[in-house]
Amino acid sequence: MATVETRQDVHIDLHYLTRIEGHGHLRIDTRRGDIERCELNVVEAPRFLEAMLVGRPHAQAPHLASRICGICSVSHTTASVRAVEKALGIEVSPQTEDLRKLAFYGEILDSHILHAYLLVAPDFFGQPSAIALAGEQPEVVTRALRMKRLAGDLCAVLAGRHTHPISIAVGGFRHLPTTATVAGLLDRLVEARADVAATLDLFRDLSFPPLNRETEVLALRRDDEYAFIDGDIACSDGGRWPVDRYAGVVEEHVVSHSTAKHSRHARNPYMVGALARFKINHDRLHPKAKGAAAALGLTPEASNPYLITAAQIVELVHCLEEAITLCQRLVDRGLRRESLVMPSHRSGEGVGVVEAPRGMLVHHYQIENAIVGRANCIIPTNQNLANLEADMRQLVPQILPLGTDEVTRRLEMLVRAYDPCISCATHVLDIDYA
Amino acid sequence: MNVRILGKQRIFEWVEGLQGSWRVVGPQASNGGWGFGEIRSADEIALDYPTTILPPKKALLPTRQVLFNYCEGRPEICRDAVPTVLLGVHTCDLHALTLLDRAYGGDPPDPLYRAQRAETVVVGLECLRPCTDQAFCKSMGTIAPPEGVDLHLTDLGEAYVVEVGTEQGRALLEDSISLPTAAEDDLRRLDRVMGEKWARFPNRLDFDVSQLPALMLSSRSSEVWTELAARCLGCGACTLVCPTCTCFDVRDEMDLSLESGSRVRVWDSCQIASFAVVAGGHNFRADRAGRLRHRFLRKGRYQKKAFGLPGCVGCGRCATACLARITPIETYNALYRRMGEARPTATEVVA
Amino acid sequence: MGGHKASRPRVAFFDFASCEGCQLTVVDSLQRYPDLLEAVEIVQFREAMSERGEDYQVAFVEGSCTRPSDEARLLAVRKQAKYVVALGACAHIGGVNAGCHGKDPDELRRRVYGPAGDSIETGEARPIGSVIDVDAVIPGCPIDRDEFIRGVRCLLQGRLPRLPDTPVCYECKLRENECLIRHGQVCLGPITRAGCGALCPTYGTGCEACRGLVPDANQASLRTIFAEHGLATEASEAALELFLRRELAVQEV
Amino acid sequence: MTTRLRETLDATSVYLPVEARIRSLRRLTKLETLFTIELPAGVSLHHDPGQFLEVSVFGVGEAPISISSSPSRSNGTFELCVRRVGEVTSALHTLHAGDAIGVRGPFGHGFPIHQFRGKDLLLAPGGLGLAPLRSLIQQVLDERRHFGRVTMLYGARHPSELLFTEELEDWAKRGDLEVHLTVDRPDEGWTGNVGVITTLFPKVQVHPRNTVAVTVGPPVMYRFVLIELLAKGIPEGDIWLSLERRMKCGVGKCGHCQMDHIFTCQDGPVFSYDSIKPLPEAL
Ligand SMILES: Cc1cc2nc3c(=O)[nH]c(=O)nc-3n(C[C@H](O)[C@H](O)[C@H](O)COP(=O)(O)OP(=O)(O)OC[C@H]3O[C@@H](n4cnc5c(N)ncnc54)[C@H](O)[C@@H]3O)c2cc1C
Ligand code: SF4
Ligand code: SF4
Ligand code: SF4
């Protein structure tokens, strides 16, 4: 960390942003209390996965797409299979939909637990890491690992593993767990209610730093459920569009200082992710999750980005309950072997949209003769970066008197609150001008 | 002769009767095929299975087996033999068990194998038609069960004939179910079923199996090995699925505290490049051709010399498993066809 | 009896071009092996902790090297660490980063980014072994957590982990899977190094060769087998390229 | 009364090592160390020269190692000369006096010394081959009167790689053991023969009818030494070798050492040349 302080101004040049996915570089310069520079740069090496999708047989696309990010690879895989399925006119069975949703809940649980407990919580306990926290509060870390293991097992039972799921395929699943295995999971999920309740207690007692900035939020919206897979794109300003029109809604463009593509909706920064989903879909939450929101004091009017973590806890409750319901249904009905649904045509264009742990994720493919001809991916973190900068611009002047160290700490916490996933963001590029 | 009748509707009853005091291992549906595994619920047993990927030997010699555990540096013997009924073993696999008994017997015997074997009662199952188009048990002389099988079942349609071969088998049967003795009519039907069986099995070897060891000896320097080696993937599938393969590797596994752990053995394969590597990096079978030849000579000659029984029982599993289409029947027959062409062994290094 | 227990080795994790899934798998391995934290002292792990020590003895490096600036960082790691372990396919064989049809990085960048991307530093994605000496490899995309733990244990004992030299088919047979090639699916198990327990075939999906080639891989025979099963198609070519592009190119030379 | 190590194994499990202790160790060369090992009270080794033990370092593994001392000098302990080449042998080199190791054995067939009595002996170890042969040499020296002329031809790659150099000097001084040394690559102080071991053969005269030859060395050495021995007219049945193979069990089960129907660990490792000549994979 190279930090120089002049009077009450700050110059922050933080090269080594920790406890986030990927390499980021934070630069803040103020002059006489005014912000001269406020940037979050992406320092991660470029990985042209979008371009690599081009020329691939469509069946391979989900496996390659998964490699965009190790932490939300179920999301990428699901978005990718949905894009292909829509392009080629494939309707999957209800059982497939259930299994996909279940794997998805596994990923949301896994990612949120990782983020809330292992990346964010140390800040609140004044610890530099979960490893240090494990020394002070072993039961907290043990609980986190226990829950994370269950979430990972949920993915593994359905798809072989969490990172780079194996059996989620275009048209269905290539492998099914036995009903007995699902029943075993069900028991563990039910037991995990106690851990989720303890989690709620833990986070209810934490006080999130203050910051209020009204911003637009975007999330998928379905009328039948709290949307994670498919739906319409909904905006907090009231707009609602079919996903095929994502391009008009989310306009991507290059911001010169950082080369992770920032996204602008209607040219204003906007937010995606757990808080965005909560604001748009709170009415579709499981009753227990609604209760959790109330307990955390989280309302749909929330405008403090630090509360993203609170929204994640609410989703934790929701996903656990939904996973229990789904497992129960699968156990009651029994699992049937189904062959993959074959495409009805070989060419087409499709948009797959899901709510990855960090927000709306779009995969858009053009398929020509079973080969991906064009691919475009919109990544949650890229959508959030502009909003995050806007938050920082508002926050910095307010907390300037606290001194460089505290400003840095608050900013780091803010960056972390967004749970940015720079691995995802750099499916395109890198710049490190420093 | 002690022959009983087991009506098919009573199979589940019998299996449940056994489950009281035994681990029952038998064929069951698995992964879209069949495999030997512990029968947890009687209706899992699938006695009409064609063949399995792995042979039933895994009940006696698990793919991974703890030799002993150690704690703070002190080894402790691990005795894990489980009283087992190995149910539904086809005749070729019964012959393979006889070979295993010899290979793992001897002086000294393998203590773990012997312990599990002593706790195992084997129930054979007569094959009435070839299990796959790769089977060649008739050619290998393994189409009829060997001596000393504890119990042996033959399918008469609506019932099994149960032949009691040993005292152990008799005791097992008496403890688990009470069955009527076969009637004259049953025995006549048994004769008829057995009589009809033979014609269904083709003879696939172009020569008599008694010539096999000599053929293999004279084929050592045959070009067949290099030809096959070009196709062979060196994957070892052929040996893993073989009911008579016995090789294992030994590994130490330890926990992260470096204080306790276990020594385990795992199935190994002579088809893997490092199988015969010694210190200094010298490999006694450095190429695939040499490894393939070793495997086939072991099947066709060495085991006969070492243990008095052929090392191949004609189950055909390796032929099914080999993606490169390297099959014993075609290999043996090709060697036989070319026997005239074979040159004297080029391996006398010192002359 | 047994090897002497040294003091806790200091371990650091580094990441280059990757999805960070391997580092995540390291975090996941704590779920089953919490004693890892007692066995080693993690001094640097940016993804999971803010503390940062430079006095590490073992460096686990995730990701492939793509930029000149990466090379300098790798050389520094090599200089400090007694053991450098490549963590995962990206570091080991270039991963999917290196499998992109051999496309020109400049062209890729423009395709994704337009002219505005011209200022971005890029380069061909390479395994870290092309820049520095690597002492050991934990292969896979992502790594297998049990194998990672076994590797750590070997290092604790003062020796280097050895990779199995059997192909994936070997473990596939041990798991009694029906062979996918026989059911009309492309599978690279016959030429891929085992150690994953044939995870993909067990989950109904052809092996993608993320663990790299097995020694003495018979690629020609596998191609014949594909042809015999009607699988010599774009799908099999794409599969061979996904992880093996670099290794197969070397094998052909 | 002591129980033989082999009997304790047979009574429990032939795979279960017995805990032995390193009494002392002596570094012989850069790669080789001589370990003096003590069995637990009440257990004795009772081996033949040429037999081997399976030596364990728990958590690492097991390796076959020849017993390097003779039964005649057992005195409650025995010696192992170990070259550091891989996992187990390297782990052994990290141990100290007082540390425990696991041992199983003795396994296999050693040299048939009774058949050697009354004969001249021509011993030709190469490199580490002296480790097992030393057991035989000590035994022969302890019953020297039973044997005729004893000649040893010993070769190593470099003077620094010669094993048991002090003993070599003592043996040479005795007068009843003819010692010829050679190295492939000499150093400054080397005044002896230079060249591979076969270059020593012209220096010795043998009575082929009454000579037993014993050669132990790396696999590549055998074919050349055999040519020399046969050229001297020594009958194939009087040429003895000890074969190295990968071995995982030591008791003819794991299959690694099988050549033809022969299990090297049990039927060998010591063989007469005529018995392995028909086995193409032997040499
Ligand atoms: C009867 C007999 C007697 C012996 N007597 C002695 C003796 O007195 N003294 C002595 O020092 N040695 C002796 N040896 C040799 C000794 O057994 C070996 O050096 C020892 O087994 C090596 O074990 P290790 O675990 O140290 O080496 P390993 O780690 O097993 O490595 C040994 C060699 O094999 C190679 N290797 C191992 N595994 C693989 C693999 N998977 N892939 C590729 N290569 C591999 C390594 O590169 C190395 O060169 C004897 C051997 C036999 C058979
Ligand atoms: S199964 Fe076939 S390809 Fe594999 S090692 Fe055996 S012979 Fe070779
Ligand atoms: S060699 Fe092949 S056919 Fe013969 S017993 Fe083994 S697996 Fe069966
Ligand atoms: S499915 Fe793949 S790994 Fe398994 S046996 Fe077939 S080719 Fe080998």
Could you report the per-residue pLDDT of C13-60, keeping only the tens digit for each? 998 888 888 988 998 888 888 888 888 888 888 777 777 777 888 999
Mean pLDDT of A88-114: 95
Ligand located closest to D125 CA: 1
Res B348: pLDDT: 32
Kindly determine whether residue A370 and residue C234, on different chains, have CB atoms separated by under 8 Å.
yes
Token pair of D277 as six digits: 């000549």
Kindly determine whether residue D283 and residue B350, on different chains, have CB atoms separated by under 8 Å.
yes
**CA D173 to chain CA centroid, nearest Å:** 22
Res A311: pLDDT: 95
Mean pLDDT of C92-102: 76
Name which of C1, C3, C162 is nearest D94 (Cβ-Cβ).
C3
Res A325: pLDDT: 96
Note the pLDDT tens digit of each residue in B80-119.
789 999 999 999 999 999 999 999 988 899 999 999 999 9
Token pair of B249 as six digits: 């590797």
Ligand located closest to C174 CA: 4
Ligand located closest to B236 CA: 2
Asked if residue B242 has its Cβ within 6 Å of ligand 3, the reply is yes
Judging contact as 3 or more Cβ pairs under 8 Å, the answer for A and D is no
Checking if the pLDDT of A121 tops 60, the result is yes
Token pair of A143 as six digits: 């609980």
Size of interface A-C (CB pairs under 8 A): 204
Kindly determine whether residue C153 and residue B233, on different chains, have CB atoms separated by under 8 Å.
no
Res B75: pLDDT: 84
Res B117: pLDDT: 93
Checking if the pLDDT of A112 tops 60, the result is yes
Mean pLDDT of D192-199: 88
> CA C23, C29, C34 angle in degrees (round to 5)?
125
Instruction: Give the confidence band of A32 by pLDDT, cuts at 50, 70, 90.
Output: confident
Note the pLDDT tens digit of each residue in C119-178.
555 667 889 888 999 999 999 999 999 999 999 999 988 889 999 999 999 999 999 999
Res A427: pLDDT: 45
Residues of D in contact with B282 (CB under 8 A): 218-220
Kindly determine whether residue D60 and residue C4, on different chains, have CB atoms separated by under 8 Å.
no
Checking if the pLDDT of A126 tops 90, the result is no
Q: What is the pTM of this model?
A: 0.90
CA B239 to ligand 3 centroid distance, Å: 8
Asked if residue D110 has its Cβ within 6 Å of ligand 1, the reply is no
Checking if the pLDDT of A118 tops 80, the result is yes
Checking if the pLDDT of C200 tops 50, the result is yes
Give this complex's ipTM: 0.90
Helix (H, G, I), strand (E, B) or coil at D269: strand
Checking if the pLDDT of A120 tops 90, the result is no
Strand partners, D38: D21, D77
Q: Whose CA is nearest to atom 8 of ligand 2?
A: B232
**Burial class of residue B243, CB neighbours in 10 A (0-12, 13-18, 19+):** buried
| Interface test mutation site (partner C, options A161, A358, A421, max chain C beta carbons within 10 A) | A161
Q: Where is A395: in which H helix or E strand? A: helix A380-399
Q: How far is C191 from chain B (nearest CA, A)?
A: 7
Kindly determine whether residue D91 and residue C1, on different chains, have CB atoms separated by under 8 Å.
no
Tell which residue, C183, C182, C184, C201, has the closest CA to residue C192: C201
Res A237: pLDDT: 82
**Spatial separation of the C-alpha atoms in residues C126 and C109, rounded to whole Å:** 17
Q: Where is D106: in which H helix or E strand? A: strand D100-107
Checking if the pLDDT of A19 tops 80, the result is no
List, run by run, the mean pLDDT of 10-residue segments along chain B (351 residues).
86 91 93 90 90 94 92 79 94 94 90 93 94 90 91 92 92 90 90 90 88 88 90 95 95 86 94 89 89 93 89 94 94 86 42 29
Res A434: pLDDT: 25
Checking if the pLDDT of A49 tops 90, the result is no
Checking if the pLDDT of A190 tops 90, the result is yes
Tell which residue, A247, A307, A239, A250, has the closest CA to residue A273: A307
Mean pLDDT of A56-76: 91
CA B224 to ligand 2 centroid distance, Å: 14
Instruction: Give the confidence band of A267 by pLDDT, cuts at 50, 70, 90.
Output: low
Q: How far is B4 from chain C (nearest CA, A)?
A: 34
Q: Which of C166, C169, C176 to mutate to test the pocket of ligand 4 (most atoms within 8 A of CB)?
A: C169
CA C146 to ligand 2 centroid distance, Å: 28
Checking if the pLDDT of A429 tops 70, the result is no
Q: Whose CA is nearest to atom 6 of ligand 4?
A: C179
Checking if the pLDDT of A330 tops 70, the result is yes
Burial pattern A278-287, b for ≥16 Cβ within 10 A else e, equals bbbbbebbbe
Res B107: pLDDT: 84
Asked if residue B321 has its Cβ within 6 Å of ligand 3, the reply is no
Question: Which of A323-332, A399-408, D227-236, D271-280 has the highest mean predicted lDDT (pLDDT)?
Answer: A323-332
Checking if the pLDDT of D256 tops 70, the result is yes
Asked if residue D131 has its Cβ within 6 Å of ligand 1, the reply is yes
Whether C215 and chain D come into contact, CB under 8 Å, resolves to: no
CB neighbourhood size of A424 (10 A):
32
Instruction: Give the confidence band of A45 by pLDDT, cuts at 50, 70, 90.
Output: low
Asked if residue D194 has its Cβ within 6 Å of ligand 1, the reply is no
**Spatial separation of the C-alpha atoms in residues D277 and D257, rounded to whole Å:** 16
- Give the residues surrounding ligand 4 with Cβ less than 6 Å away: C 168-169, 172, 177, 179-181, 187, 189-190, 198, 201, 207
Q: Report the residue of chain B nearest D223, measured CA to CA.
A: B350
**Spatial separation of the C-alpha atoms in residues C157 and B256, rounded to whole Å:** 10
Average pLDDT, chain C: 85
Tell which residue, A374, A356, A368, A371, has the closest CA to residue A247: A374
Average pLDDT, chain D: 91
CA B239 to ligand 2 centroid distance, Å: 8
Mean pLDDT of C188-206: 95
Q: Report the residue of chain A nearest C51, measured CA to CA.
A: A128
| Interface test mutation site (partner C, options D57, D84, D88, D103, max chain C beta carbons within 10 A) | D57
Name which of B252, B268, B303 is nearest D59 (Cβ-Cβ).
B252
Note the pLDDT tens digit of each residue in B38-84.
999 888 999 999 999 999 999 999 999 999 998 877 888 877 789 99
Res A248: pLDDT: 80
How far lies D269's CA from each of A379, D32, D221, D259, D282, in Å? Answer: 66, 21, 16, 12, 11
Question: Residue A260 in contact with residue A272, Cβ under 8 Å?
Answer: no
